[in-house]
Structure 1
Amino acid sequence: MKSIKVRLAAMLVGAMMAGGAANLQAATADEEVYRLGEVVVSGEASVVESVGVTHKVTAEEIQKRGVRTLDEAINLLPGVTVRVGGDGTPRIDIRGLRTRHVKLLLNGTPFNATSDGQFAPNLISVENIAEIVVTTGGASSLYGAGGNAGVINVITKKGARGAHGSAGVELAEGDTQLLRATAGYGADRYDVFVSGSLYERDYWELSDHFSPSSTEDGGERENSDYERDNLFANIGFAPTDATLIGMTVNYLKSDFGKPPVAVEDDFAPNLRYEREEDEGFNAQLALDHDFKGPLSFKGWAYYNKLNTLENRYLSDYETQGAGAPGTSRTDAETQISGINGQLRYDMQRYGVATLGVMYENNDYEALGFSVNNRGRLSTVDASGNFQLYATTFEYEVTPLPKLGLVLGGGYHWQDRADKSDGDYTYLVGLRYDLFDGTRLKASHARKIRFPTLRDLYDPERGNLDLDAEVTWNTEVGFEQDLPAATTVSLTGFYMDIEDFIERPDGEVQVQNYEKYEFYGVEVAAENRYFDELLLRASYSYLHSEDKSSDSNRDQLQNRPEHKVVLEAAYQLPWNMSVYGSAMWVANAYTYNDDVTIKKRIPEYLVFDFRLSKKVANALDLYFGIHNAFDADYVTSYGIPHAGRAMYGGVTWKF
């Protein structure tokens, strides 16, 4: 398989060079944005987006940075932490809340696993992404339950008028190969867009500063191979000027190792040797109809399926059979299906009112076995399902030219075999343009998150007595335009969470924690004085604490207090561009098994660099370095990240 991909890469490079020579003056067409899947209407007039913090990462920014997956695309945003733990999968934390508190949408389709509410962002490739919208804190009530930390909406490309596309190949250290391609076509009444990628890595290298341990020698990271295949397509059709119909399908497959913990002490996770295979499919059918007059309707029907095979081995990563101590195998399937409808009434200067209804079914099934260190065999046969129902309402109005208000709310139900539960959410917010270029904003929201199927029914950690989490989120901030094409923003936030669902350190069963508290500040600045130069800087501060009456944790585990990011992109005169970033993270802690001793995780500073050159508007040649200064760092104690890694590639656009 590997030799075939190498030959394919060589053939693709040759074809690109030939195509580039034959199309030196060919104009490239940029793909348009697929808006049918957006739950909330975006744009300058959207009040609900402007009362809180909304970050947007465009396809152009993704290309400048040279990132490959969703987690890499957003890891520099204020308040966002990408953390890799013992499961080997990058996790996106927002303001100290975990991935399971973040709602991930792909064109409006929920992408969180039904079993534990999490998602694997490294399975989402970027070649089909037009825009990533990250909304932190008090997001729109129309998103429904969950998303207590925020919402990540991945909005894909769609076919522009005419035929266009791209093909690219990238090679990197660790015998890494990435092949990707896109194609699109648009006409008056329909458009088509398809994309795909093949990614394969044999290993990645640890930093030269890494100190060998009893479990890791250094050099090539043990069990760090990775394969991923993605295929995506969407079709849009406009039967009339008032009606849009869209269909989106996405397929992914991966096979990878989970590198073991690299230290053995009281603070490190247990030593495990694991591998995982994933295969997923999701589809969405969307409808947008504008009735004559102020009324319009948007609706979605969606289906998301993910199969996950997890194997735990002895140290040699070979199958030991069902009788070997310390081994396990779990084959799990999660399915999400549902419908979502929104009726929007535009009263012009009297505001916009939106009524939403939602139904969603979540299914989970897992089969397998586990053998403890004494050789005792246990079978895994877990299943469960629940249904979610919601009715939501949101009203946006601009009563004065400088003032915007939003009021939203909803009631949500979780219906399962052993229990039914319901609770409410709300959002109130305002923005006020104090002066030209000065905007004040504030919002307050109540969010809920129901326990997941794994929280409830997992044979080891499940707890049927869990209550829903409740989060109160308050944000206050301002945005200011300064001379020399400079903008700055400052946001303060406070989150009070009751019945936080988490598994205690050193324990097995999940439980509700009485009260968690998070507060912090995010500062961001951007300068575009020179057309060829972009400068960005941000600082995030986070305080996290377990405020439960019986707790002694003054800071929660793996939640860094400080994050500083600097970015620069410069367009040189000869069709060459350069990009660089630096990220400094400090003051994260971990605890020992019985949570009696706290230990600081070393701070780290990571630099990335990328150089690209356009050749006659058809070819884009690029070279980059991840972790250019070869920092040895961790985001979860005992799990080191990759050291310096160089890569290069070429993309042909037509």
Structure 2
Amino acid sequence: MRLLLSAVSILALTPGLSGAQTYYDLGTLIVSGGLTPVEEDNLGRAVTVVTEQDIEERGLITVQEALRALPGVSVSGSGDNFTQVRIRGAEVNHTLILIDGIEAAGGDGEYTLSGLETAMIERIEVLRGPQSVVYGSNASAGVINIVTRRATPGLTRAFTLETGAAHRAAGFLAWRGDRGGISLALAHLHDLGYDNSGDGGERDEIRRSTAILSGDYALTDDLTVDFTLRRSREYSDYDSTNYLATDPGSYVVDDPTQFSEVDELTAGIGVTYAMAGGRLVHRLSLATTQNSRSNNGAVPIETQTNAAHYRLSFGLDGAPVETSAHLLNAMLEWEQDSSSSNPLYDRASTSFALEYRGEFGGLSVQAGARYDDNEVFEDATTWTLAAAYDFGGGWRVHGSAGTGVVNPSYFELYANDFGYVGNPNLRPERNRSIDLGLEMPVGTNGMVDVTLFHEVLTDEITAVSTGPGTFSYINQIGESPRHGVEISGRTQVTDALSLRMAYTWLDAENPDGSVKIRRPRHELSMGATWAFAQGRGSLSADLRHVRGNWDTQFWGAYSTVELPAYTTVDLAAQYDLTDRVTLVGRVSNLFDADVMDVWGYAGRGRSAYVGLRARF
């Protein structure tokens, strides 16, 4: 089940949750790396983590901004209120987005990033390559797990205020005692926006409010309960498109009457019980995702996913689960989703998974398999194998191979509208992948990771004509190959200056050899952070270059065209006015470059912001 509740999943690893609990320093844990968290140095899969410090130093206010500079990740949107994410050139719905381990999208749809704010985020984990063994469908190309802040020992109070091209306010209140903790995070973003059509007309704004309540409590030394509850509401403007356009300027039309309203709810509750001195751990959890979206005041479309998950973890070497060098995880999951757009149909599955993790000196191995018993279409089996070897001295090799699946949507299965007739005999789309990476030291405090990958999508679902004005869906014959290289690196040049970079080269094709759209061939980001005034302040600069991006011109000849290359530069600064209050400011797209990731839609121009951040 896609229910690994980030911080909740590592309750047994956190001090102060129970009076007799032993604390183990396991280094940096990748919460979404397996059926239980995996130490980053042992993980064979390709992963990138955006930390709270990264977010603050670079002045990032939305999740899509944080994702744009990552290797293997492509972000595009028809305005900031409709942003899509692709990993390694896969389709949008092949990347699973989680918020605190619960899937953000309800039903069968993709999750559209818009005003998802960073004010309450602790970290963002991005795993590249198939993760279906752990998360099932829609994790065929990768997983993005957004981990929000949780209570730390004592009383925590924090707030952020910002104004400029967007107004932002956020507050965080939390308390943790000897046996548990509780936290409340509130955030409001009013992005004044810009004209998505690019002709200088009405700004297309976004207003989003979010509340997150979470907590955990150790009922006994061995039994812990936890919960998380998130509610978000959003309003955004957007422009119209004219498919009868005769020139580029008349395709995206400024339209002040168009608006969208979104209501999101995610909730989860879990119980963790440890036996045999922590060698055997049971985890039972329930989760729900309920989303609603309406356009221009129409009746909203409501989507929902409900899931139940049981996990058994066993230390094969006799050690507690959290420190075991040979760990076996077994998982049983039930999941059901539905949509009000197709009230007579839903999808349900029962799944079984087994995962082994082992450490053999410098070698670490992760292996797993999963079987999905689907009620309304073909069953699926997926597998994964990953390994990493630490040579010492900063040299490390990592690699993974595996398969992933994406289930057919309601519309593809049951459509009976707009000239489309569904095909209930569709099979899940299947992705197979292999990657190999090498981490190398740079200087005394730096690291570069070079990863090569090759992925192939088969049984891709596509629309076909069945007659004049009528269509249906089939599983395509042939393969859609994707391969490329991901390079990322960081180095601390001096005590005051650090550098970072990421580069992705991607070649993604359809079965007929044509180029996949909205997947840039080249994406480069370079950044630097300089600390000054004995560490009281910092200045960050980030450059991003995009080239070789293709999209469909949805008017006239409806041809696929290459979009113009562009380069943007962002600046961000912060300075500690006191030990508790920090002045922050930033400028995005400093040189006001023309940006276009989706044909006809303008990107944001130069924007400036200033604010305060305080913690008590």
TM-score interval (norm. to shorter):
0.7 to 0.9
Q: Which amino acid aligns with 2:188?
A: L
Match of 1:239 among 216, 219, 223: 219
Residues 403 and 595 of structure 1: is their aligned pair in 2 closer, same or farther, counting only changes over 3 Å?
farther
Residue number in structure 2 paired with 1:229: 209
For residues 48-75 of structure 1, the C-alpha deviation after alignment (integer angstroms, 9 at most, x for no partner) is xx21101111111111122222212222
Residue number in structure 1 paired with 2:422: 463
Match of 1:146 among 138, 148, 152: 138
Match of 1:169 among 146, 153, 161: 161
Report which stretch shifted further, 447-456 or 52-61. 447-456
Do residues 351 (structure 1) and 326 (structure 2) align? Answer: yes
Residues 166 and 45 of structure 1: is their aligned pair in 2 closer, same or farther, counting only changes over 3 Å?
closer
RMSD: 2.7
Q: Which amino acid aligns with 2:518?
A: N
1:147-296 matches, within 5 Å, as 147-173=139-165, 176-204=166-194, 216=197, 218-220=199-201, 222=202, 224-261=204-241, 264-265=245-246, 274-293=258-277, 294-296=279-281
In the aligned structure 2, how far is the partner of 1:479 from the partner of 1:195?
A: 37
For residues 503-545 of structure 1, the C-alpha deviation after alignment (integer angstroms, 9 at most, x for no partner) is 5799965543332110000111210242332211121000011
1:459-608 matches, within 5 Å, as 459-460=417-418, 461=420, 463-464=422-423, 465-503=425-463, 509-514=472-477, 515-547=479-511, 551=512, 553-573=513-533, 575-592=536-553, 597-608=559-570
Q: Which amino acid aligns with 2:301?
A: A
What is the deviation of 1:643? 0.5
What is the deviation of 1:88? 4.6
Residues 507 and 70 of structure 1: is their aligned pair in 2 closer, same or farther, counting only changes over 3 Å?
farther
Q: Which amino acid aligns with 2:387?
A: L
Match of 2:370 among 405, 410, 414: 410
1:39-78 matches, within 5 Å, as 40=34, 41-44=36-39, 47=42, 50-78=43-71
Kept after mapping to 2: 8 A contact 1:338/1:359 = yes
Q: Secondary structure at 1:121's aligned position in 2? A: coil
Q: Secondary structure at 1:635's aligned position in 2? A: coil
In the aligned structure 1, how far is the partner of 2:306 from the partner of 2:198?
A: 46
Q: Which amino acid aligns with 2:476?
A: Y
Kept after mapping to 2: 8 A contact 1:34/1:155 = no
What is the deviation of 1:87? 9.9
In the aligned structure 1, how far is the partner of 2:461 from the partner of 2:383?
A: 21
Q: Which amino acid aligns with 2:134?
A: L
What is the deviation of 1:596? 7.9
What is the deviation of 1:280? 1.4
Q: Secondary structure at 1:571's aligned position in 2? A: strand
Kept after mapping to 2: 8 A contact 1:364/1:383 = no
Residue number in structure 1 paired with 2:3: none
In the aligned structure 1, how far is the partner of 2:397 from the partner of 2:203?
A: 50
1:435-450 matches, within 5 Å, as 435-450=392-407
In the aligned structure 1, how far is the partner of 2:79 from the partner of 2:494?
A: 44
Q: Secondary structure at 1:166's aligned position in 2? A: strand
Q: Secondary structure at 1:153's aligned position in 2? A: strand
In the aligned structure 2, how far is the partner of 1:582 from the partner of 1:261?
A: 31
Residue number in structure 2 paired with 1:334: 303
Q: Secondary structure at 1:68's aligned position in 2? A: coil
Q: Which runs of 5+ in 2 are unaligned?
A: 1-5, 12-30, 318-323
For residues 172-209 of structure 1, the C-alpha deviation after alignment (integer angstroms, 9 at most, x for no partner) is 13xx3211111111111121111111222344267xxx
Residues 453 and 596 of structure 1: is their aligned pair in 2 closer, same or farther, counting only changes over 3 Å?
closer
Residue number in structure 1 paired with 2:601: 639
Kept after mapping to 2: 8 A contact 1:410/1:425 = yes
Q: Which amino acid aligns with 1:623?
A: G
TM-score calculated relative to the size of structure 1: 0.82
Q: Secondary structure at 2:460's aligned position in 1? A: strand
1:291-330 matches, within 5 Å, as 291-293=275-277, 294-311=279-296, 329-330=298-299
What is the deviation of 1:384? 2.5
Kept after mapping to 2: 8 A contact 1:267/1:637 = no
In the aligned structure 2, how far is the partner of 1:269 from the partner of 1:407?
A: 53
Residue number in structure 2 paired with 1:454: 411
Residue number in structure 1 paired with 2:614: 652
Kept after mapping to 2: 8 A contact 1:114/1:336 = yes
Q: Secondary structure at 1:456's aligned position in 2? A: helix
Q: Secondary structure at 1:279's aligned position in 2? A: strand
Residues 621 and 507 of structure 1: is their aligned pair in 2 closer, same or farther, counting only changes over 3 Å?
farther
Q: Which amino acid aligns with 1:365?
A: S
Residues 488 and 462 of structure 1: is their aligned pair in 2 closer, same or farther, counting only changes over 3 Å?
farther
Kept after mapping to 1: 8 A contact 2:130/2:431 = no
